[in-house]
Amino acid sequence: MKVKVVSRILEANDRIALENRRLFDRANVFVINLMSAPGAGKTSLLERTLSQKTGLKVGVIEGDIAGSDDAERIERLGSPVVQINTGGACHLDANMIYEVLDDLPLDDLDILFIENVGNLVCPAEFKVGEDIKVMLLSITEGHDKPLKYPLMFQESSALILNKMDLVPYTDVDIDKIRKDSLSLNPKLRIFDVSCKTGEGIPAWVDWLKERARRV
Amino acid sequence: MHEVSLASGLIEIVSGQCKNNGYQRIDSVNVKIGRASGILPDALIFAFDAMKSDSLAKDAVLYIEEVLVGGHCRDCNSDFAVEEEYVLNCPCCGGLSFDVTAGREMDIVDMEVS
């Protein structure tokens, strides 16, 4: 007997992501799913972002395979933070986020960053209930990355190019990164930053504030 | 890379539907996987076979139909499919105004139950 099954394989995840989104909307919080390879500078970007005087209350969910170093870095800046250890899983999924929502003062927050596990593949597939996805690429990773990992570039609303202070010391072709990224996703907003020097951070934070205000 | 979580979700969905329809076992499952979905068909089959033992799908065979990345060009009005996992410009006219219409599938199509 043949039975039709019209369903996405990720249906269960998508359902929980929708429920997360409902809770975020009710609390009026703008949620960013922040994704990158390991070591691109996600936590450094958050430290820089949180240090800007925005008048906005920002919370963070830290996703890591193990350890709580990142959460401690955020906590030192006085922001509400929850650490998730995936225990080996290469991405955060909607249920992991749902499980920790009670540990955050959602009603008090304007913005919530979900720092995903460092990985350029899987996090792009799993919705967690976010308003937007933002991708960070450190320029030392090389200009071949947009075409090697197209999905993440296609799914993101903004691409932050980090470690721009290192450009003089590398052979990386920044124009190629820009061109390929925009070919994959013409609506992508690209920011050049250096989390080391702080260069470019205000422009990114202004854009973020503007997006968050629209919620 | 996340084929195990996908296989687990897949087994849950088909087992649930099998039970709801009043059948005892699943003989086969057909799914469509797009080339741009980030899923390796071999790894998905491996994970499915490794995780099916305690479910109604324990004897089921997983069949995967791969879907090429395809699009429609607004410049030359052609429908196209490509071998790559992405489209940078229309393979017919080189234009940049195109919509990607296929390649992200992760869909369960149907299953054989008894």
- pLDDT digits over A167-202, tens only? 999 999 999 999 999 999 999 999 999 999 999 999
Asked if B88 lies within 8 A of A184 by C-beta distance, the reply is yes
Distance CA A175, CA A65 (A): 33
**Chain B residues in contact with A13 (beta carbon < 8 A):** 9
Q: Which residues of chain B have pLDDT under 50?
A: none
Is residue A162 within 8 Å of residue A194, measured between CB atoms? yes
The minimum CA-CA distance between A28 and chain B, rounded to whole Å, is 31
Q: Give the domains, in start order, of chain A with CATH numbers.
A: 11-213 (3.40.50.300)
Q: What percent of chain A has a predicted confidence (pLDDT) above 90?
A: 84
Number of domains in chain B: 1
Distance CA B97, CA A27 (A): 38
Asked if A10 lies within 8 A of B18 by C-beta distance, the reply is no
- More confident: A150 or B2: A150
User: Which residue bears the tokens 């929850």?
Assistant: A82
* In the predicted structure, residue A214 carries a pLDDT above the cut 80: no
Tens digit of each residue's pLDDT (9 = 90 or more) over B88-109: 889 999 988 888 999 999 999 9
pLDDT band (50, 70, 90) for residue A11: confident
Distance CA A156, CA A183 (A): 13
Contacts for A16 with CB less than 8 Å, ≥ 6 apart: A93, A94, A95, A98, A129
Asked if A183 lies within 8 A of B89 by C-beta distance, the reply is yes
**Model pLDDT, residue B31:** 97
User: Which residue bears the tokens 């490794």?
Assistant: B50
Domain span including residue B82: 3-113
Q: Considering only the beta carbons, identify the residue of B9, B17, B85 that sits closest to A12.
A: B9
* In the predicted structure, residue A208 carries a pLDDT above the cut 80: yes
What is the average pLDDT across A74-80?
94
Tens digit of each residue's pLDDT (9 = 90 or more) over A122-147: 888 899 999 999 999 999 999 999 99
- More confident: A79 or B4: A79
* In the predicted structure, residue A7 carries a pLDDT above the cut 90: no
**Model pLDDT, residue A121:** 86
User: Which residue bears the tokens 């996600």?
Assistant: A42
**Chain B residues in contact with A184 (beta carbon < 8 A):** 86, 88
**Model pLDDT, residue A215:** 66
Q: Closest by alpha carbon to A51, among A200, A205, A209?
A: A205
> Across chain A, what does the average pLDDT equal?
94
What is the average pLDDT across A20-32?
97
Asked if B2 lies within 8 A of A3 by C-beta distance, the reply is no
The minimum CA-CA distance between B3 and chain A, rounded to whole Å, is 10
Distance CA B12, CA A215 (A): 35
What is the average pLDDT across A8-23?
92
Task: Give the strand order in the sheet containing A58-64.
Answer: A81-85, A58-64, A111-115, A30-36, A132-138, A158-162, A189-192
The backbone region for A88, taken as left when phi is positive above 0, alpha when psi lies in -120 to 50, beta otherwise, is left
What is the average pLDDT across A53-81?
93
- Domain CATH for B9: 3.30.2320.80
**Model pLDDT, residue B1:** 58
Q: Which helix (H) or strand (E) holds B80?
A: strand B79-82
**Model pLDDT, residue B97:** 86
Distance CA A116, CA A84 (A): 10
pTM, full prediction: 0.86
Q: Considering only the beta carbons, identify the residue of A3, A9, A13 that sits closest to B17.
A: A3
The minimum CA-CA distance between A160 and chain B, rounded to whole Å, is 21
Nearest CA in chain A to B11: A9
Q: Which helix (H) or strand (E) holds B111?
A: strand B106-113
Q: Considering only the beta carbons, identify the residue of B2, B88, B109 that sits closest to A91.
A: B2
Sequence length of chain B is 114
Contacts for A176 with CB less than 8 Å, ≥ 6 apart: A143
Q: Considering only the beta carbons, identify the residue of B38, B113, B114 that sits closest to A125.
A: B38
- More confident: A89 or A15: A15
Q: Which two tokens stand for residue B79?
A: 């429908």
**Model pLDDT, residue A106:** 97
Asked if B5 lies within 8 A of A93 by C-beta distance, the reply is yes
* In the predicted structure, residue A108 carries a pLDDT above the cut 80: yes
Asked if A8 lies within 8 A of B106 by C-beta distance, the reply is yes
Interface test with B, best of A1, A3, A122 (most B CBs within 10 A): A3
Q: Considering only the beta carbons, identify the residue of B2, B13, B37 that sits closest to A11.
A: B13
**Model pLDDT, residue A89:** 82
Asked if B23 lies within 8 A of A1 by C-beta distance, the reply is yes
**Chain B residues in contact with A12 (beta carbon < 8 A):** 9, 12-13
The minimum CA-CA distance between A209 and chain B, rounded to whole Å, is 30
Helix ranges restricted to H, A4-155? 11-26, 42-51, 69-75, 94-100, 145-148, 150-155
Is residue B31 within 8 Å of residue B65, measured between CB atoms? yes
The minimum CA-CA distance between B54 and chain A, rounded to whole Å, is 19
pLDDT band (50, 70, 90) for residue A105: very high
Q: Closest by alpha carbon to B52, among B33, B26, B22?
A: B26
